[in-house]
Structure 1
Amino acid sequence: MNGAGGVRVAWRIVSAGADRREVSRSLLTELLPGARLSSRCSRCGGDHGRVRVSGAEVTASVSYASGWAIVAVRDGDQRVGIDAVAADATGLDRVLPGADARTWARVEAVLKADGRGLAVDPARVRIVERADGEWSSTIDGAAAGVGFDVEAPPGVVVAVAVASAS
C-alpha cells in the first residue's frame, strides 16, 4: 500500500511459531530488492534495534501488533517511523495519560521517526490534526514531522510519521 509522503506500507500475519523479525525482514526484502538490512541495538548489540538499510536510498521502520508484522519504507534519507497497536489495547494511559490506541500509535511513530524512540518521554510529543487528514507533531515545541493514519489489518491501529527535514 502506498501512503502519503512517499511512504510504502505492508503487513503480513505472523503465524504461530514463526519468528516475527523474519516475517518483517521478508516484507522489507520484497519492498527493497537488493538492499541489505541490519538491526543492531546501539545499547546492547542485540538483533532488535532500529532497522537500517544499505544498498538503497531508503529508510525503514517496523512494528508488531496482534499477530501482525507491519513495515514502512520511504525513499530518501528522512526517517520514517511506524507503530501498530491492538485496537483494544488497555493500560496505555499508564505511560501516556489519556492515551488510547490511536494516540499511542501516533506518538510512538513520531518517536521512532525522531530516532530516539522511548528514550524520550512520550508526554513530550504533541499531535495536531491538519485539515488534509494528516497530522503534524512536535517534541518539546520543536517540529518533529508529519504523519498519517493507515488502513490496517482488522483489530490493529497503525500510524506513520516522517521526520522533519534535518
Structure 2
Amino acid sequence: MGQISWREVTVAWARTSELEKFTHADVAAMGQTQLDRFRELSGDRARGFLAGRALIRALVQSTRGPGEVLVDSRCHRCGGEHGRPRTADVSLSVSHAGDLVVVAAAAGIVRLGVDVEAQTAAGRVSELGSLFREDAAPDLAGWTRVEAAVKADGRGFEIDPSAVIMHDGPRDVHPRVWSAALPGGVTRIEVATLSGPPGHVLSIALG
C-alpha cells in the first residue's frame, strides 16, 4: 500500500491482493446497495471492487474520524449502482489499473478526480489519438490529466476529451499544475501529475 497528499487531497493505493481481508461482510456494512453491486461482479472486477471499498473506508475514517462509512454509488443518468462513490462530508474518486486500485479523498464537497495508468499502457495513447487533433494528442501523463479533469467535473466522458483545454502553469512549481478548461464549465479545475505507485502515472484534479 502507498499514500501521498496534494493540497487537501489524500491519495491511497493498493494491489487487490493486499486487501484480501476486506470481505463482503465489510461491504454490507457500507450499505445494502454496495453489497448488491458486489454480488453482480465476479473475478478481477469483484476483487477490484472490494479493494476500492477497503481504501474508501480507510480514507474516510482517516478524514472524518472513526465510525460507519455508508456509500452511495447511484448513476445520475440511469440510477444503477455503478456511478462514482459518494459519502457524507468527504469527496471521493476511484481509478483502477490492472490489479491496482487508487482512491482520492478530500474533506467536504469538492470537485475531485483521480486517474492512474500503468506506464506499460503507453500503447493506449495511440488508440486514443484518434480522439484528438494530430498536433494535440496527449502523452500518457497528459491523458491521465484529461481523465482526472472530466471525473472532477462530474460529467465524465459525456465531455469530448478533445474539448478539454489544459493551460500549463509555472514550470518552476513542483508539482506542475495545469488549469483545465472544460466546455460548459463554470470554473477551471486544477490538475497535477504526482509521484504515485511505482510503474504508473497518476494525476489528480481538484476544483
Classify the TM-score, shorter chain: 0.7 to 0.9
- 1:100, CA displacement in angstroms? 2.1
More strand by share: 1
Any residues of structure 2 matched to 1:16-165 within 5 Å, and which? 17=44, 19-33=47-61, 34=67, 35-54=69-88, 57-89=89-121, 90=123, 91-97=127-133, 98-131=137-170, 132=173, 133-140=176-183, 143-163=187-207
* Correspondent of 1:5 among 7, 19, 29: 7
Of the structure 1 ranges 69-78 and 31-40, higher mean CA displacement relative to structure 2 is found in 31-40
- 1:141, CA displacement in angstroms? 8.3
Any gaps of 5 or more consecutive residues in structure 1?
none
| C-alpha contact 2:159 2:183 (8 A) present in aligned 1 | no
Q: Which amino acid aligns with 2:119?
A: A
- 1:105, CA displacement in angstroms? 0.5
Q: CA RMSD in A?
A: 1.9
**Greater Cα radius of gyration, structure 1 or 2:** 2
TM-score by length of 2: 0.71
Any gaps of 5 or more consecutive residues in structure 2?
18-42, 62-66
- 1:45, CA displacement in angstroms? 3.2
Secondary structure of the residue aligned to 1:3 is strand
Identity level (%): 36
Aligned twin of 2:33 = none
TM-score by length of 1: 0.87
